[in-house]
């Protein structure tokens, strides 16, 4: 409509004349002018009037055409404006419709989300309410249990005080009895310890022990356990191992007396020999075993050579023999209770000897039991070697040692630590991949031997004690057959004298040399040991007085003569 407003349209009627705009007199028409009268009142000729009418008609036609064109243009513009307005309105309506549709969709989506959030919040609120109630109930139970435990603790403390008093009285009675027994021994001229011991033990003075260990110098220490330290000493012209108990009071006294009571009654080639005692402070004197513990050899401590597989089988047989001996002790069998490689010591010829009887116990047989046992409330031992049945019930039996023996067998086979070893060996044996976990440092294990030993070890570690093998009837037979079976090819004949064997290489010596520690070694082996910077003896673990080596010609000739006889 705006273009129309820009043009003023003046429409004249067809009978329009310029004179019609003049005012007319009252009672006369617009055409009543006389032809003779002019505008200014002068007379007008008739020809002029006709010409003027013609001009007026032309003007009217021109104006009519102009007006028509303007009207036509205005109509076109109006039509175009209306069309544009209609299209704009339709577009606006479409956009409005689309916006309305999107708004409704968004409103629906927000409504669903709102509903879901409300439902989730309602569920979480319900869960939190339940948890709140549960936590409140558990807290009440915990408070009740706390009160009960506090009451029990008070009662336990009271009982403990009574037991300590009673134990103190019993200990004093025992000490009085021991003093009386010692006095009787002195009066009878017997200087040996223990009135009820089958094997006499020599008593040593504390000054002798101090002199033998250089006042328990750290350089003389060769081992340390949970309750005692072990020192190497030279006592009465003999190299010995001196075990000093670190625990004081009733517990230390009991461990000391228990070990003395057990070892003074037994002697066996595969048990560490107890030589004597010193009661104040508590000290035990053992035979000295130069090759240390089985644990040290499995870990190749001080760069020692790994144990060959055949030697490992022989050590296992030594342990089995020792266990059979203590389990068949009369009148009461004995359970070691802490069998592990740390407590298996090796002599100069790598013979295994069982030691550390500090927590060993005599087993009792009652009228209501078939198997001798010892019940205790104090669970003692080493994790990885402890019988699960003992941990659960507190009953120590000979089968406890059988379980520990199975773990030791697995360690000899694999060289791995005890924790989780039973499951690994069992799984490897079942899947036929036992060779993958065998200790390669022991040499090439005969697969038949390895599988037989692994099977025996798994049986020893069964949870049901009744399913474990009898050491004397089953385990010893397996080990003995392996020991008696000669190797298909070996540089070390079984009949070779032990002093022909080098302590380092475990082979017959070709060029024996004497070192400053007094032991004879293969020349190349001991030279290599010294060249690698070792100043300590591989046998005694003490520093060499000097690094000079002396050829042992007499031993070399003896070895050559023996080898010549073997070839004949």
Long-range residue pairs from 89-94, CB within 8 A, at least 24 positions apart, any chain: none
Q: Is 334 helix (H, G, I), strand (E, B) or coil?
A: strand
Alpha-carbon distance 152 to 158, whole Å? Answer: 10
Alpha-carbon distance 83 to 81, whole Å? Answer: 5
Phi-psi category of residue 331: left, alpha or beta, with phi > 0 → left and psi -120 to 50 → alpha = alpha
DSSP structure class, residue 520: E
Tokens for 410? 């697995």
Q: Tell me the β-bridge partners of 243.
A: 230, 284
- Altogether, the residues listed in the chain come to a count of 568
| Residues in CB range of 323: below 8 A, 6 or more apart | 336, 339, 354, 398, 401, 402, 405, 471
Is the Cβ–Cβ distance between 359 and 325 less than 8 Å?
Answer: no
Is the Cβ–Cβ distance between 398 and 363 less than 8 Å?
Answer: yes
Tokens for 83? 């069309």
| CB-side neighbour CA atoms (13 Å) of 351 | 14
Question: Which is it for the CA torsion 60, 66, 70, 71, positive or negative?
Answer: positive
Is the Cβ–Cβ distance between 396 and 374 less than 8 Å?
Answer: yes
Alpha-carbon distance 219 to 14, whole Å? Answer: 146
Given the residues 173, 196, 280, 338, select the one marked as catalytic. Answer: 338
Mark whether 338 is an active-site residue.
yes
Is the Cβ–Cβ distance between 415 and 298 less than 8 Å?
Answer: yes
Q: Catalytic residues, which ones?
A: 338
């Amino acid at each position: 409509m705006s273009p129309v407003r820009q043009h003023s349209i003046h429409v004249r009627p067809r009978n329009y004349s310029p004179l019609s705009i003049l005012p007319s007199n009252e009672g006369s028409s617009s055409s009543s002018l006389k032809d003779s009268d002019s505008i200014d009142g002068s007379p007008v000729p008739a020809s002029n009037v006709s010409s003027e009418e013609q001009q007026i008609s032309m003007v009217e036609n021109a104006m009519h055409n102009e007006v028509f064109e303007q009207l036509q243009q205005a109509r076109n513009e109006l039509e175009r404006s209306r069309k544009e307005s209609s299209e704009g309105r339709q577009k606006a309506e479409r956009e409005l419709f689309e916006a309305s549709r999107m708004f409704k969709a968004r409103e629906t989506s927000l409504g669903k989300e709102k509903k879901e959030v409300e439902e989730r919040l309602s569920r979480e609120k319900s869960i939190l309410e339940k948890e709140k109630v549960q936590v409140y109930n558990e807290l009440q139970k915990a408070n009740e249990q706390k009160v009960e435990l506090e009451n029990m603790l008070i009662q336990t403390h009271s009982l403990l005080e009574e037991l300590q008093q009673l134990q103190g009285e019993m200990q004093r009675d025992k000490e009085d009895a021991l003093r009386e027994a010692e006095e009787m021994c002195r009066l009878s001229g017997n200087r040996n310890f223990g009135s009820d011991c089958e094997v006499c033990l020599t008593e040593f003075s504390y000054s002798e022990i101090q002199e033998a260990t250089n006042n328990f110098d750290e350089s003389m220490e060769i081992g340390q356990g949970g309750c005692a330290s072990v020192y190497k000493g030279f006592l009465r012209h003999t190299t010995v191992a001196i075990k000093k108990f670190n625990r004081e009071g009733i517990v230390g006294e009991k461990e000391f007396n228990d070990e003395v009571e057990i070892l003074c009654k037994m002697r066996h080639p595969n048990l560490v020999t107890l030589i004597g005692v010193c009661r104040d402070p508590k000290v035990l004197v053992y035979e000295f075993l130069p090759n240390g513990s089985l644990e040290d050899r499995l870990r190749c401590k001080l760069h020692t050579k790994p144990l060959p597989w055949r030697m490992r089988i022989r050590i296992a047989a030594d342990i089995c023999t020792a266990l059979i001996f203590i389990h068949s002790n009369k009148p009461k069998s004995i359970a070691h209770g802490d069998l592990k490689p740390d407590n298996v010591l090796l002599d100069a010829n790598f013979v295994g000897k069982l030691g550390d009887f500090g927590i060993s116990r005599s087993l009792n047989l009652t009228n209501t039991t078939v198997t001798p046992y010892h019940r205790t409330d104090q669970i003692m031992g080493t994790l990885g070697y402890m019988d699960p049945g003992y941990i659960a019930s507190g009953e120590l039996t000979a089968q406890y040692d059988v379980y520990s023996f199975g773990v030791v067998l697995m360690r000899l086979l694999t060289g791995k630590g005890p924790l989780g070893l039973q499951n690994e060996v069992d799984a490897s044996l079942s899947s036929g991949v036992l060779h993958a976990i065998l200790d390669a440092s022991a040499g090439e294990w005969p697969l038949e031997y390895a599988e037989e030993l692994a099977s025996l070890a798994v049986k020893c570690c069964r949870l049901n004690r009744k399913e474990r093998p009898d050491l004397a009837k089953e385990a010893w037979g397996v080990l003995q057959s392996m020991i008696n079976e000669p190797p298909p090819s070996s540089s070390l004949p079984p009949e070779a004298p032990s002093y022909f064997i080098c302590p380092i290489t475990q082979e017959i010596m070709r060029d024996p040399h004497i070192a400053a520690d007094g032991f004879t070694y293969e020349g190349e082996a001991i030279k290599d040991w010294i060249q690698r910077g070792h100043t300590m003896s591989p046998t005694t673990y003490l520093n060499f007085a000097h690094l000079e080596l002396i050829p042992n010609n007499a031993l070399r000739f003896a070895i050559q003569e023996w080898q010549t006889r073997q070839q004949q």
